[in-house]
Amino acid sequence: MAERNDLSKLKRSIRVTGMTCATCSRIVERSLKKVEGVSFVAVNLATETAFIVVDDESLPQEKLEEAIVKAGYGFSYAAPEELESRRYSEARHNLFLSWAVTAPLMALMVLHMTGTHIPGYTLMELIGGLIIFIGAGSASFKGAWIALSHRHANMDVLVVFGSAAAWTTALLHLIGLPLTSFGALGPMIVALHITGRYIESHLRDRASKEIRALLAIQAREARIIDGDGGELLVPIEAVKEGHRVLVRPGERFPADGHILEGRTSVDESMITGESLPVGRHKGAPVTGGSLNLTGAVTVEVARVGEDSFLAQMIALIQEAQGAKVPIQAFADRVTNVFVPIIVGLALIAALAWYSASPSLTFLLDGAGRFLPWVTSARDPLSLAIFAFISTVVIACPCALGLATPMALVAATARASRHGMVIRNAEAIQTSRAVTVVVMDKTGTITEGRPRVVDHNLSPEDLAAAAAIESQSSHPLAKAISEAALAPLPPASEVTEEAGRGVTGHVEGRLYSVGRPEDAESHRDQLDKGRTVVEVRREGEPVGFIAIEDPLRDDAARTVERLRELGVRPVMATGDNEHTARAIASRAGIDEIHAAVHPEGKLDLVRAFQARGEKVLMVGDGMNDAAALKGADVGLAVGSGTDLAIDSADIVLVGGDLTALAETIAISRKTFSVIGQNLFWAFGYNVVAIPLAMAALLHPIIAETAMAFSSISVILNSQRINRD
């Protein structure tokens, strides 16, 4: 656990405020990368978080905060609910103010366009624009100023350019220049921008509801039992390892631990994805955040704070959501130069209309027969300004910037609902191409709760074997160590060789427990799907132990689902071929590799990869570490304590094994959605920008379309989250 703690201190997560588009997140990322001691940075616009890896845990947090402020943005450590409440309150106020001014202006503009000229209309445009710019739209102007003062451009810059240019035409018209006034468009553009941002922000917050739900199940208080047996209600921060806490029915467990007294059933659905309550009795582990259903229990606290399972799970999900996948690099390269290119195109369009409007107006005359919003202005300056406004307003790098991170947020949320924690976001992209799934047997295809069902040992030899195995971490060791009556004799000089067995001295004699030399002599046990280990004393066989690990109820369904996805299931196990075939046949697996040592599993993975296969390795995270790391995607099946496994890309912390197949299904759906998002984001700009440059697209329609392009990307990404 100490290793995980050290690693966790090298990872930082900061909520960044003030970002409005992908360019903003890129600027924050660049600023943080300049901090000495920072080795990795990923800033996610969708979750508004910066995930940072530092080389030295002593790097002051203030250095990172200064870098964010230096880039022109803010940071916050307030709870997500508090930030949302504050943001929505401000957004609603701005929304009401902007439309209170804009709606009357729009009505007057329609009357004006139909020939009903309102006295003082141009002055109303000027005043209405000032109210919006100073009030509801001040955040956009501030964002644009910050961006330009730091020598970069973001979405606010485009909105400000467009709205300010439109408003300026009213001022120029009022002082007597022969220029058509588009002044009302200024506040309208800002109002539509605020509306789009409000809807987009609401949808983005809904998309990360799973993280907020995990945060919400953390207990706020705990009932500690003191030395006199009394109860003391204290804040959760006061709970320490070793404390005894009383948890009553209907309360959440305040921390990870094990039951000292009592019996109950526990709802762990928010953590493991398992919908059915599970029974817990004396000695059984419990997880902080899970719900106690039926009985009062006394729990001894084992892990608190960042060491707790729930804290690890939240951190890992946030890390995956904040990370970037390879496909995002393409979108990042585009958004990097998008705003400067759009401003350049807008200037080109303005110059073209100003210098050659007499020869281009036939386009407007022809289009005006079909498109009612085509401007009636025909003087060069008015047309140049109109084309400039339309072009800068129509461009939308936000849709490009959100295409991938919003899909990742939805994918990780869906995975967490199925009891999966994605530790490496790149696994989401890689999993879609998986063609072979290599599965370990014990603890993966089987339940991982083996028990001794037969043996022919004397009580002394069984006790010696149990004493040696009690010092092993192998999944079968616990079953053997519990097979003999306590107390066990002391064992010394115990050594374990992965895949072969355990040796040690008991009462002066050398014992070894491991694979039998002659498996055929145990055919009757092997044909029943049992694992047989041989016990030797001073090198001579003295008997065997038969162990049975029941097949998981969902193993056959998982294999069937993998085949439906076009993926070939393969079983690789250190067990003998007879046992492996018996288990594989019940699970529906045709291809098996038996008597495979841990290093042999890695060789098997590489053999598949050499033939061009994409391999997903599934194991219990112990003897399979090398194969998990060597596979294209490594998935560890285990409990909350296994979240710290560095060799796995994905950890299945509970629930249904069919989540294994769900990993591949989620990946395929995610990248289908990302492809659609990028296609429509690019397609929208490819079609809309030329129309805007040709002055055939009204700025109001352009701004509305720009807002809804981002909203459509978010809504499309949410399809991933629907089972």
Q: For residue 437, which of 574, 628, 597 has the smallest C-alpha distance?
A: 628
Neighbours of 627 (CB within 10 A): 27
What Rg value do the Cα atoms of the chain yield, rounded? 32
Q: Is 575 an annotated catalytic residue?
A: no
Of 310, 412, 426, 346, the C-alpha closest to 165 is 346
Virtual torsion, Cα 136, 137, 143, 147, nearest 10 deg: -170
Find where tokens 């996805």 sit. Answer: 565
Other Cβ atoms less than 10 A from the Cβ of 497: the count is 11
Active-site residue among 156, 307, 440, 624? 440
CA atoms within 13 A on the CB side of 690: 6
What b/e sequence results for 401-422 when a residue is b if at least 16 CB atoms lie within 10 Å of its CB, and e otherwise?
bbbbbbbbbbbbbbbbbbbbbb
Query: How many CB atoms are located within 10 Å of the residue 616 CB?
Result: 29
Q: How many helices (H) and strands (E) does the chain have?
A: 24, 26
Q: Which of 711, 14, 193 is nearest to 403 (CA)?
A: 711
Distances in Å between the Cα of 290 and the Cα atoms of 254, 314, 354 are: 9, 14, 68
Helical packing angle, 397-417 and 22-33, nearest 10°: 80
Q: In this structure, are residues 392 and 346 in contact, taking their beta carbons and an 8 Å threshold?
A: yes
Q: Are 260 and 298 in contact (CB under 8 A)?
A: yes
Cβ contact 699:182 at 8 Å: yes
Helix (H) or strand (E) holding 213, with range, is helix 209-216
- E strand or H helix at 651: strand 650-652
> Residue 394 to residues 45, 350, 552, 696: CA-CA distances in angstroms?
21, 15, 55, 12
- Cite the DSSP H helix spans in 418-572: 426-431, 459-469, 477-481, 523-526, 555-564
Tokens of 5: 């703690």
Contact yes or no for 321/46 (Cβ under 8 A):
yes
- Cβ atoms 7, 26 nearer than 8 A: no
Place of tokens 């800033």: 43
Hunting for tokens 């904040």 — which residue is that?
322
Task: Give ∠ CA 26-29-30 in degrees, rounded to 5.
Answer: 90
Q: How many CB atoms lie within 10 A of CB 340?
A: 13
How far, CA to CA in Å, does 630 sit from each of 517, 606, 608? 30, 7, 11
Q: Which residues of 663-687 are buried (b: 16+ CB within 10 A; e: fewer)?
A: bbbbbebbbebbebbbebbeebbee
Label residue 84 exposed, middle or buried (CB < 10 Å: 0-12, 13-18, 19+).
Answer: middle
DSSP letters, 242-285, are: T-EEEE-TTPBP-SEEEEEE--EEEE-HHHH---S-EEE-TT-E
Q: Which residues are marked as active site?
A: 440
